[in-house]
């Protein structure tokens, strides 16, 4: 993302909970049930240089969960976008329990989240591969009042 004086980016690099799920969830309800039935493997920061221990099976599904609070400097109605780079097209993304559309393969996914943003938020990424862990990035982009987003 190019530096834009009308934007403020908040990186969501750290404190991702990592779980290995036994199979792909059908929806957020089944994701919650699966996640509740397995232990957290650990916490990772993105990007993550260490390989993920997938000793349970080759087809293990990875769940990354990141919780974050509403940015304190966000004014009512101020545009805020979730920007994810390197997310595979076959990933599933849930924001506060709602399924969100993922962009093209390893492209940048931009999701306006202002109307869904709560005081306490949860982002779930369901992945078939650990490649995103090594190269992906996630951030919130806040556009200043009167400014326009160019990212």
Dihedral over alpha carbons 102, 64, 128, 35 (to 10 degrees): -110
How far apart CA 141 and CA 112 sit, in angstroms, is: 9
100 strand-pairing partners: 93
User: Residue 11 pLDDT more than 90?
Assistant: yes
Contact 125, 91 (CB under 8 A): yes
As a whole-number percent, the residues of the chain with pLDDT over 70 amount to 83
Contact (CB, 8 A) for 6 and 143: yes
pLDDT tens-place string over residues 38-49:
888 888 888 887
- 109 neighbors 103 (Cβ within 8 angstroms): yes
10 - beta bridge partners?
140
| Residue with more model confidence, 51 or 143 | 143
Residue 85 has pLDDT above 50, yes or no: yes
53-67 per-position pLDDT tens digit:
655 445 679 999 999
């Amino acid at each position: 993302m190019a530096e834009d004086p009308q934007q403020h980016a908040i990186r969501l690099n750290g404190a991702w909970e990592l779980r290995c799920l036994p199979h792909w969830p059908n929806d957020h309800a089944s994701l919650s049930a699966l996640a509740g039935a397995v232990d957290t493997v650990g916490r990772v920061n993105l990007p993550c240089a260490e390989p993920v221990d997938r000793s349970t099976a080759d087809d293990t599904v990875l769940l990354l969960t990141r919780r974050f609070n509403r940015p304190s400097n966000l004014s009512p109605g101020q545009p805020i976008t979730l920007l994810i780079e390197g997310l595979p097209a076959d990933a599933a993304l849930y924001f506060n329990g709602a399924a969100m559309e993922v962009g093209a393969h390893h492209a940048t996914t931009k999701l306006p989240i202002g109307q869904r943003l709560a005081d306490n938020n949860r982002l779930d990424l369901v992945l078939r591969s650990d490649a995103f862990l090594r190269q992906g990035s996630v951030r919130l982009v806040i556009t200043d009042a009167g400014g326009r987003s160019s990212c």
